[in-house]
Structure 1
Amino acid sequence: MKRFLLLVMILIVSVSACKEQASKEIATDQNEKFDTFKEEFLKGLWKQSPGWASYLGLHEYDSILNIETEENRNKLLKSFNEMDAKLQQFKLGNLDDGNKIDYHLIDNTLETGVWYTNTFKGYEWDASGYNIAYQVWGIVNGDYADLETRLEILSALLVNVPAYYDSAIKNLTRPTLEHLELGYNQNQGALSLLGDSLLDSISTSTLNAEKKETLKVRVEASKKAVSNYIAALEQLKVELERGTPKSSRIGKVLFDKKYALENNSRYTAEEIYNKALQEKKHVHKQMIEITKTLWDDYLAGVEKPTDKIVMVKMLIDKIAEKHVAREDFVDEIRRQMPILAAFVTEHDLLTQDPSKPLVVREMPVHMRGVSGASVSAPGPYEKGRDTYYDVTPLDGYSDEEAESFLREYNHYILQILNIHEGIPGHYTQLVYGNQSPSIIKSILANGAMIEGWANYAELMMLEEGYSNSPEMWLMRSKWHLRSVTNTILDYSYHVLNLQKEDAMQLMIAEAFQEKTEAEEKWVRVTLSSAQLSSYFTGFSEIYDLRDEMKALKGDSFNLKEFHEQFLSYGNAPVKYIRELMIK
């Protein structure tokens, strides 16, 4: 009997081991097949989005300029549906943790692409969506190949420019005035890229005479096409101003869906909006307490107003008088980068890679008009290249506008901006993102995670003692109110019909922003949707996750380990990173 039972036990263990081995083999097979699928997915994606591929450092598609036609949209939808059918063949349970995130990212990208094409239809109303400047800029100013090779690529691209802009004019059946004006301004940058400097480069190149002449003809045809588009936009503007143009407010149904697709968050659009309203009250309370302690240092003898928010604004206005000179704005940003890097190293907050420097430069002309500062990181296909911190110089501002801008980016807030955009914010996070073993996570980057990290970095640096003063904490609270207010503006404009007068009151009186900053943010909220909510969304999710990990690990919690584990998952949505870190 004992012998029989022993045989049964051996059989059970053997069968169990066989099942486990078979399960492992299935999982291995599924992961290998999924890796092959990802390569196929990306090849199809780049054919549809060559400009995106070039931005990420993959240049084999640079000569392609996709024309927005109904036939091409149908081809795009067909490719999305075919890829989705292949994706659904994989079972999440058989994929490893990294591939599970990649599965979710691809699934979200395909759903987003179909929704944008069938439902959002920006090609019918967003005049700024048509612009060859980004692709031309990448070819003309790239150094991935010699000049002659790049000029031949440019020549092939420019063949389709007339048809591209002809299609654009036909597609704009219900343009918004706001996007029309942006399209007009940014295409002026496209014209400048096709100007004398390019013609000089063609003339001095070693291309043969026939190729030079062909390229010059194509440049002139392209300039004419861009000029015709700009003229068409001018005419459309006149017509729209006479009538009732389409509103740039997208409404609750579209906004809720766009927020869900783009931010990929545990929060809904309405939930993060309500959370932002509560956060505004909380931050106001903190700022009032700090103001009470600093009042006599800056406004001794001045009676405190009964309105506490007015009291805070009076102190902020006084502190904001300390700022860099107009002509030194870009240089001061450049000076602060090594100081921030040294602090991160000394406090052991993150491991940094000195081989990937951050280069501060004036923002290229064709990129201006939406934000004053941003980071342009190398794509996953060109990881060794520099990361640029693009800063809009103040040359185009009047004296009054420049002073207002500099008061907004005063001595304290300029440092917070540099943490956010530079170290250890966007620049540092994107360096880590490009080190991810999965290129999918680098490419299909989640905006809320990226923006959330930059906002989290600001608070974390101050918590760890960077420039630890009441003034800095007050100004960081003011800066944090910006991301909070971004969320309120975003939802209120597109869903609740917020008017400019009320928006300016919110930004200037309640969020303590300067008029120039508020004016620019109003323009931005009319041009974008759901993106302004990403900052507070990502920040909230990351800070919540850190609290969870602290509670789980107790005394063994290590801040550097948390940062590096979090960033090791690449540019993935926080909700998926959370699942893996909690597990």
Structure 2
Amino acid sequence: MNTFKITLLVAGVLSALVGCSNTVNNNPTSQTATLSETATTASQQLDALVEQYFVESLQFSPLDATYIGYRQYNDQFTAPSNEQNRAMQYAFYKDYQQRLAAIDQQHLTGQALLSYEILERDLALTIEGFQFPRYLLPINQMSGAHNTFAGFGSAQSAQPFVTVQDYEDFILRAEGFVTWLSSVQVAMRQGIKQGVVLPKPLAEKLLPQFQAHVVSSAEQSLFYSPIKQLPADFSAVQKQQLTEQYRVLIMDKLVPAYANMSEFLATTYIPNSRETVGYSELPNGKAWYEYQIKQNTTLNLSADEIHEIGLQEVSRILNEMKAVKETVGFEGDLSEFFTHLRDSDEFYFDTPEQLIAAYEAVKIKIDARVPKLFNIVPKADYVVKAVEDFRAESAAGASYQSPAPDGSRPGIFYVNTFNLKAQPKFLLETLSIHEAAPGHHFQIALQQEVESLPEFRKFGGYTVFAEGWALYAESLGKELGLFTDPYMWYGRLSDEQLRAMRLVLDTGFHAKGWTRQQGIDYMLANSSMAFTDVVAEVERYIAWPGQALSYKLGQFKIQELRDYCKQALGDKFDIKEFHTQILIDGALPMPILEAKIKRWVEKQQ
């Protein structure tokens, strides 16, 4: 997968970002405190605590709340970025850390023990993260509430536009966005003063994202889309009123806000952005990057160790690519083979429609083969869609969005059709496995459907688990009867190479002083990726330090656990049951997953 666009509540709830609404409850634990007080056992106390924690955490993440179906948050936006709201969040997490510590862990088993271990770790890591001023870097070209908001306003995302109330809710949410955006600009000005700013190439990519919404008439705006699809059962008066309200919202509030931010970026922020790219160049940046590694991978590995692992993997995969080159009878060296794969029209589709149709066909083929290795499948289906035009230029090649928990919306496998030369035919099977079945769609949808999981786990997640699983799922291709065409197998190697190069580049940028150009040159030399895709990937690693490490390191750990189980259980090893054990308890930090799997093995022996 080329970006981790999965709607996981942990991204908002456990990230120490600013709160969710303009008015945050000053005593969030008071409303349901009696839940814990009436519990009589450690397990009951924990159940009450994690339920309370999840419900109250939603106040800090109203956009995620909308994704998972909590409609009462549909009129709220992320609270302004300011010291008061950050202090409020810090107090919230400290309070729950203290309350969790008061529960006797020794009396917990099963799911209760897992929930305790997960929440204990997450709270400690979240609190640790407050020492780093990430609020000074609130947005980048890859992510940020500004992009989520635009998706919501397009009427093509999770924001519902079914009732009059839905339409009015979005107006209030949009007003909250305007307030939040103003506070973001204040934070970015503080970042300039403190030397914590985006690298120039990233700041420059932000500008068109805001300029796109500076229009001369409401009808030209993305945010007019809901008006173009007003439900037929609305009365004429309701349609007229909403149309006028949205015109005023767009022209009097949103366009000025986007114009103001565009001017700030162009005249102030971009000229003051930095020439360096790594976190190690920021104040306390070395420690900050080490934290990012720990947060994203859940493992205790140094940047140097990860860099070396990456170099070894890149070399190994290059040798396998050479074997494919020889199998297909290509005369020339590997570099010439890469050029052939980049430039030859036979490897690419002519239209976006052909590309989407091809992925839909692969979906049918894979869905029929999944039962070979799995005895559980999600109830929710998924659909294949093209990435929306407004974000396609900056978006990565593919991504996944989870289904609505209530079944009202399927999972979405997004394919970026902006540059067809970045979407070779030989990636069809491996990318579909990764993003959809049995990759992200299986893991995320199943996690939401397991009734026994508390909601903070059902809608939480870890990049290393999700991406590690999806990359491990790719490795199952041959066992599923795929990759029979040597070019499709090359596609698998190409995707694996991408993830191996990430280990080298992420650590190179943020710990070893690599430049953006060094990263581009390295990827072009070691893969057949299109230049535009390489640039997008490089700038992604610069924007998201540590995130790209999760794929390979997570895959290694899951494969290591499979090998351990196979050796320990011998003839008793059942691959279907192993996959169930990996998935059935939802996403786990790798050390907790390892301990859980080893407990399971002990019970089988």
Q: Same fold (TM over 0.5)?
A: yes
What SS class does the counterpart of residue 274 from structure 2 fall into? Answer: coil
Matches within 5 A, 1:394-409: 394=418, 397=419, 402-403=420-421, 405-406=422-423, 409=424
Q: Does 1:46 align with 2:70?
A: no
Matches within 5 A, 1:174-573: 174=192, 175-176=197-198, 177-188=200-211, 195-198=223-226, 205-206=234-235, 216-219=247-250, 220-237=252-269, 239-240=271-272, 245=274, 247-251=276-280, 252-265=286-299, 267-292=301-326, 294=327, 297-299=328-330, 302=331, 305=333, 309-310=334-335, 313=338, 321-327=346-352, 328-345=354-371, 347-353=372-378, 355-368=379-392, 369-380=394-405, 382-383=406-407, 385-394=409-418, 397=419, 402-403=420-421, 405-406=422-423, 409-410=424-425, 412-436=426-450, 437-438=452-453, 439-573=455-589
| TM-score, scaled to structure 1 | 0.83
CA distance in 1, matches of 2:523, 2:178: 42
Can you list the C-alpha shifts for 1:530-557, whole angstroms capped at 9, x where unaligned?
1111111111111111000101111121
Tell me how far 1:571 sits from its aligned partner.
1.6
Tell me how far 1:316 sits from its aligned partner.
5.5
Residue 134 of structure 1 corresponds to: 148
CA distance in 1, matches of 2:293, 2:41: 35
List alignment gaps of at least 5 residues for structure 2. Answer: 1-37, 215-219, 281-285, 600-605
Q: Does 1:82 align with 2:114?
A: no
CA contact (8 A) 2:178 2:257 kept: yes
TM-aligned CA distance change 1:27 to 1:547, over 3 Å: farther
| TM-score, scaled to structure 2 | 0.80
TM-aligned CA distance change 1:167 to 1:490, over 3 Å: same
What SS class does the counterpart of residue 172 from structure 1 fall into? Answer: helix
CA contact (8 A) 1:130 1:168 kept: no
Can you list the C-alpha shifts for 1:298-347, whole angstroms capped at 9, x where unaligned?
33xx4x55xxx5476477569984333334112211221011111223x2
* Worse-superposed segment, 59-68 or 88-97: 88-97
List alignment gaps of at least 5 residues for structure 1. Answer: 1-25
TM-aligned CA distance change 1:144 to 1:93, over 3 Å: farther
What SS class does the counterpart of residue 119 from structure 1 fall into? Answer: coil
Q: Matched residue pairs, number?
A: 533
Tell me how far 1:485 sits from its aligned partner.
0.5
Between structures 1 and 2, the one with greater helix share: 1
CA distance in 2, matches of 1:548, 1:266: 20
CA contact (8 A) 1:80 1:114 kept: yes
* Worse-superposed segment, 487-496 or 129-138: 129-138
Tell me how far 1:386 sits from its aligned partner.
0.7
CA distance in 2, matches of 1:552, 1:28: 39
Q: Does 1:35 align with 2:47?
A: yes
Tell me how far 1:565 sits from its aligned partner.
1.6
CA distance in 1, matches of 2:583, 2:212: 36
The residue type paired with residue 575 of structure 1 is: P
The residue type paired with residue 73 of structure 2 is: Y
TM-aligned CA distance change 1:108 to 1:53, over 3 Å: farther
Tell me how far 1:476 sits from its aligned partner.
1.9
Q: Which of structures 1 and 2 has the bigger CA Rg?
A: 1
Matches within 5 A, 1:115-126: 115-124=128-137, 126=139
Matches within 5 A, 1:61-100: 61-65=73-77, 66-100=79-113
TM-aligned CA distance change 1:440 to 1:367, over 3 Å: farther
CA contact (8 A) 1:485 1:511 kept: no
TM-aligned CA distance change 1:254 to 1:52, over 3 Å: same
The residue type paired with residue 289 of structure 2 is: F
The residue type paired with residue 111 of structure 2 is: G
